[in-house]
Chains A and B, each alone.
Chain A
Amino acid sequence: MNGDEDTVLVRDFKNGNEKAFDRLFEKYQMSLYSICYRFTRNESDARELTQDIFIKIYNNLNKFNEKSKFFTWVYRIAVNTCISFKRKQKQPEMNYEPPGETISLGDRVRMKIAIDDALLKLPDRQRMSFILHHYEGYTFDEIGRIMGITTGAAKANHHHAIRKLRVFMKGWI
């Protein structure tokens, strides 16, 4: 994370340089979308959430007071937006079978469905801790600051998530 570059861009934006926001947007667009997708397991919801998150960032950037790092602020908005997001319709229950010895294309699809199903069964905060640590590579200390919880709680969330995923993915491991 290049925090200094973010700070410069934020200050430039506050001074009226709209291009600075474009740089910030481009820097975070992929990872924010990935978090939204991994959290909702649904492309349409992920697009909607990404949009909502960027609206909040754009509309509130002038109020960002630099007390925290910019990426912490951005991810806090993302986490809060994802967690308060209520899925409009429940995901249909998927039937899947664990694979045989070799993994075919069909098995990969079933594995994807199994991962979707398993992650969606996790409580929101455990799921988010797991995504931020496992897929986005944040430390528990950073996750704690992003989610407004202690480092220990972030780590506990992650360990609980792994424990549950082991059960949910039983046929695949």
Chain B
Amino acid sequence: MKNCQAFKRKIVDYIEDQLTEYEHEEFKEHLQRCKQCQTEYSKVKKLYEVLDNDTVILPEQAFFDSLKIKLRQKNWVPRKSYIKRIIKILVPVFAAAIIVLLLNQPDKTVEMRVSVSVLLEDEEIAVLGLSGVINEELIDELSVVEEYLSFEVDVTIDELSEEEQAEFIKNLYEKYNIDA
């Protein structure tokens, strides 16, 4: 006979009817004769009942109607456009870095493709991609640049003034020896 620990791990699957027919019957039989598992089962079952009491009060239809209209307004600007802004800044930097390093170190090259969509972990929204023929050293360099795509930097850039943003780009250009 299996120990209780193995049965306890199956309580959620039993409640959600995810067990095979054999496992289901086995669990049911065990439950009938094991007080400890009955207690555990009752607690999880009760948790499901409590959580099922959680209801969502939907907004009035007018909210959805006005949103539908708002979407089609040509001058509509999304509340947060920092992803687009960061792409706008970093894509030229990546592209320029790839070209410069390609020109300077043409020997012993490997091909690497860096998709911004992957970097942003959102393949469907960010469709821009980067590619280039680069060497192994550049791969290390690019991994450093990738750090600039972290959320904290996003926020930081969002909060920068135009002058500070220009300074930020200038520093990136200097870091990678790119002629502005």
Q: By the criterion of a CB under 8 Å from any partner CB, how many residues of chain A are at the interface?
A: 44
A5 within 8 A of B: no
B151 touching A34 by the CB < 8 A rule? no
Q: Other than the known A25-B64, A84-B151, A115-B53, what 10 A-B pairs have Cβ atoms closer than 8 Å?
A: A29-B64, A38-B54, A47-B63, A51-B67, A60-B124, A63-B127, A77-B125, A111-B53, A115-B54, A148-B121
Q: Which of A131-167 contact B (CB under 8 A)?
A: 134-135, 148, 158-159, 162, 165-166
**Minimal beta-carbon separation of B84 from chain A (angstroms):** 10
B153 within 8 A of A: no
A54 within 8 A of B: yes
Q: Which of B113-139 contact A (CB under 8 A)?
A: 121-122, 124-125, 127
Q: Which of B56-79 contact A (CB under 8 A)?
A: 56-59, 63-64, 67-68, 70-72, 76, 78-79
Q: Which of A49-105 contact B (CB under 8 A)?
A: 50-52, 54-56, 58-60, 63-64, 73, 76-77, 80, 84
B51 touching A134 by the CB < 8 A rule? yes
B85 within 8 A of A: no
A76 touching B124 by the CB < 8 A rule? yes
In Å, the complex CA distance between A97 and B47 comes to 16
A33-B122 contact in complex given A25-B64, A84-B151, C-beta closer than 8 Å: no
**Minimal beta-carbon separation of A13 from chain B (angstroms):** 12
What are the residues of chain A within 8 A of B12 when measuring CB–CB? 158-159, 162
B1 within 8 A of A: no
A-B pair count, CB < 8 Å, reads 84
**Minimal beta-carbon separation of A70 from chain B (angstroms):** 11
In Å, the complex CA distance between A37 and B57 comes to 9
User: Which A residues are within 8 Å of any B CB, using their own CB?
Assistant: 18, 22, 25-26, 29-30, 33-34, 37-38, 43, 47-48, 50-52, 54-56, 58-60, 63-64, 73, 76-77, 80, 84, 108, 111-112, 115, 134-135, 148, 158-159, 162, 165-166, 169, 172-173
A55-B71 contact in complex given A29-B64, A38-B56, A172-B50, C-beta closer than 8 Å: yes
A165-B47 contact in complex given A25-B68, A33-B56, A55-B76, C-beta closer than 8 Å: yes
